[in-house]
Structure 1
């Protein structure tokens, strides 16, 4: 079975276990509380900042305030969603992944020996580096959203990139050696990006999108642990 499809199937099976839902809901609820509290201040700031930057500032100079205002409102809403997703991703990577790894490995990968080292500091540094890359990429490519079609592609790409950059290292940290983790991330880079795009499709959905980071963590947990098991010669190709 294809590795991405296998991770999807096993993740769906994991969702039948009640304790998994506790792990999924924790970062979503925290991100909702924090994001909801900050949105009254952040929304007007995003809107004003977008109106001051090209190409929206050009629209204002061309006396098209209606279009500029609409695009600024849309961009502000999408930026708030991206910020909430980013916060939920950081929480999932730092707090939820260790719980998921312990639960999933105990249930589905008992024969996989932990040969790495789980470090809260390393996870925090990895999460912050991923957040910085995501934020810069998101902001630098915002003008390209005016190109027909790219407004649909770019958000999915950047969220998929964030998922891969955040969860692939964290999910391998405990079980894989540094050499194994490096090789798996290199050899599976394209498939990991595709895997990251699956929960990225949920990201724009209000409220439900906040579950996407924890779902991504679950998907990456199954994918990386199975890839590591195959690398060590213990391939299992069905549920």
Structure 2
């Protein structure tokens, strides 16, 4: 896993991969501008209604106003709307990265690091699109369903990391293998590297907490999964046993 991160950093500095940053970033930026122009008001009104109807938030707001502090709900609603806007933009950027940029990433990594690896995948674009839409739908629904828990700061951080780790792992891990691996090989690699793949997703999701990292994260995370997945597939093709799950986390 450490080698995958190291190789991904080297790959990210290549001109072709630097240019690849523009597509998911552009898609995310357009989505956020659209949200700010047309959806900020309706979402703010809905959240304001939700927060003001919460007995816990009302009591906390009254207590803070009573001791001379600012209104919690007024700032909280705007913060939540901003978080939703960034999440929507980032998720669209990730979807674009998975469907359109990932083939470029995998092609670059395979050509430079695994030139001997034969492409044995089938229905690559359709399989990638279906998987990305499925994972994206689960991510969005799960994120919305757990939205009330975002009012609790520590839980909000854990939920952010969990949902983004889920999206990274299930979307990019699949796309890293779909072009080169058969169904049987893909199942074997995913099973043997499950722990390492989730750890990669968790680390990248934690990095995503920092502002503006989402500009480079979709492509960089794709590179990490490409190196991680193709390396494991190369081991399978060489009749070398996969690392045990506990070892693959290292």
- Fold-level match, TM-score > 0.5? yes
**Please, which of 30, 35, 57 is the counterpart of residue 53 of structure 2?**
57
Residue in 2 that maps onto 1:186: 191
Alpha-carbon displacement from aligned partner over 1:66-113 (angstroms, at most 9, x marks no partner):
322222222111111111110000100110011111111011001111
Residue in 2 that maps onto 1:100: 105
**Please, which of 30, 42, 52 is the counterpart of residue 27 of structure 2?**
30
CA contact (8 A) 1:7 1:220 kept: yes
CA–CA distance in 2 between the matches of 1:164 and 1:61? 38
192-201 or 99-108, which deviates more: 192-201
Larger radius of gyration: 2
Q: How does 1:88-237 map to 2 (within 5 A)?
A: 88-233=93-238
Alpha-carbon deviation of 1:118?
4.8
CA contact (8 A) 1:116 1:176 kept: yes
CA–CA distance in 2 between the matches of 1:171 and 1:203? 20
CA contact (8 A) 2:12 2:220 kept: no
Alpha-carbon displacement from aligned partner over 1:26-55 (angstroms, at most 9, x marks no partner):
2112221232233222222222222333x6
Alpha-carbon deviation of 1:62?
4.8
Stretches of structure 2 lacking an aligned partner (at least 5 in a row): 63-70, 241-250
CA–CA distance in 2 between the matches of 1:138 and 1:89? 15
109-118 or 157-166, which deviates more: 109-118
Alpha-carbon deviation of 1:148?
4.9
CA contact (8 A) 1:7 1:219 kept: yes
TM-score under structure 1 length normalisation: 0.88
The alignment partner of 2:216 has SS state of helix
CA contact (8 A) 1:199 1:213 kept: no
**Pair 201,61 (structure 1): closer, same or farther in 2 beyond 3 Å:** closer
2:49 matches 1:44 = no
Q: Between Structure 1 and Structure 2, how many residues are aligned?
A: 232
**Pair 150,17 (structure 1): closer, same or farther in 2 beyond 3 Å:** same
- RMSD across aligned positions (CA): 2.2
CA contact (8 A) 1:138 1:158 kept: yes
CA–CA distance in 1 between the matches of 2:127 and 2:213? 29
Residue in 1 that maps onto 2:10: 13
The alignment partner of 2:215 has SS state of helix
